[in-house]
Structure 1
């Protein structure tokens, strides 16, 4: 039987590496230079806080409420003008970040 002294446990093992890696902390967030901001008008409300939005350039995308808008209970209705943030990789979906008056 081997003793516990022979176990090879280091502070930089694979389990701890993911906690210390700064890339994993920013996973899913885009650089602010890469985000595309567009304005559009809500044409239909869909389930689960999703909306069909007609952009000013004529394209139609699916928009969802951002976390801050959900927390502050900002209501979006059909006909509201909104600002969206979109990823350059998927221009069919966008995050609704502001409701214009």
Structure 2
């Protein structure tokens, strides 16, 4: 899948789950399950409840996503 096929949203982390998973409420009030991207894991960027994040989603499964950026 190419990068052009991904859909980007912004949202707020509402819950921390086991195995580095997060429940994110998007700005359009949908709730999804998301994990951190590899570069965020490699650089040890912490994501906590209440953080504003960018989420990438595939058009095939709109219930899961990948956190790509944490806003300061």
Question: Same fold judged by TM-score > 0.5?
Answer: yes
| Higher percent of residues as strand | 2
The TM-score normalised by the length of structure 1 is 0.70
Relative contact order, higher structure (CA 8 A, sep 6+): 2
- The RMSD of aligned alpha carbons is 0.5
Please state whether the residue corresponding to 1:33 is helix, strand or coil: helix
Question: What is the aligned residue count?
Answer: 72
In the alignment, what sits opposite 2:56?
85
The structure number with the bigger radius of gyration is 1
Looking at structure 1, the residues matched to 3 and 34 of structure 2 have their Cα atoms a distance apart, in angstroms, of 19
Is 1:37 matched up with 2:8? Answer: yes
- Structure 1, gaps ≥5 residues long: 1-29
Q: Which 4+ runs in 1 deviate beyond 6 A?
A: none
